[in-house]
Amino acid sequence: MPPETPRYCNPTAFRDFQNAVAEIDNTDGLTRAAVAISSHLIRDASLEKVEATLDDMAKTVLHRVPSGNPQGLIANVHELMFDDLGYRGNSDDYYNPRNSCLPSVIASRRGIPITLTLIYKATCERIGLKVEGLNCPGHFLAYTKVGQEEMIIDPFHGGMILTVDEAQSYIEEVVRHPVVASQIVRFASHTEWIARILHNLQNLFSMQSKQNDLLAMQEIETLLPRPN
């Protein structure tokens, strides 16, 4: 059972996360939950700034593609996010906890796969494109379908588009053991998405001997809905 009052977590982050979880099945709720986690580490984390940035990105794409053609929209999301704005994986400082904090990733345009995929998803869905997260071993990817074309996208590597075979080969390089295709094309529920962010942070704080922050992430995790 979650505590009524957190012992380790920032109370504002805990409360905001609790409110976001009520709407976690939609992308706005997913975004709010991710920002709430960030509020424990970044005391001035602003949901309004995050949402304004995502809104601006979507408006820019819609301005560039007034026809609303899906192929044109997805191409311009990639051009804006990865070419013009330069979102990339933070390979130089991968284990910095701020890579798991959505406001920091938006400010620096550097992050880890799961937060970059969330920005990609939230932008695409503002313009009418459906995006799923792929909860792969050792990595996190995006999936979308434009017309009859299925696409696997790697936001960490600048929006690189992969086939299932290419994604499978890359994941096997990361985890250093064979994986099956079903482990690649497995959609993450929003609860799984947030749980993985929390587990990433718990692992980092454990490695860094930040016990109070580790316990804070565990407190937040108690607020997630449990599988039936």
**pLDDT at position 218:** 97
**pLDDT at position 92:** 96
Cα–Cα distances in Å, from 114 out to 88, 105, 192, 209? 12, 11, 11, 23
Given a cut of 90, whether residue 83 has pLDDT beyond it is yes
Of residues 95 and 181, which shows the higher confidence score? 95
Q: What angle do CA 128, 120, 165 make, to 5 degrees?
A: 100
Given a cut of 70, whether residue 227 has pLDDT beyond it is no
The answer to pTM > 0.85 is yes
Span 16-54, pLDDT tens digits: 999 999 999 999 999 999 999 999 999 889 999 999 999
86 pLDDT band (50/70/90 cuts)? Answer: very high
> What value does the mean pLDDT of the chain take?
94
228 pLDDT band (50/70/90 cuts)? Answer: low
User: At residue 110, what is the residue type?
Assistant: R
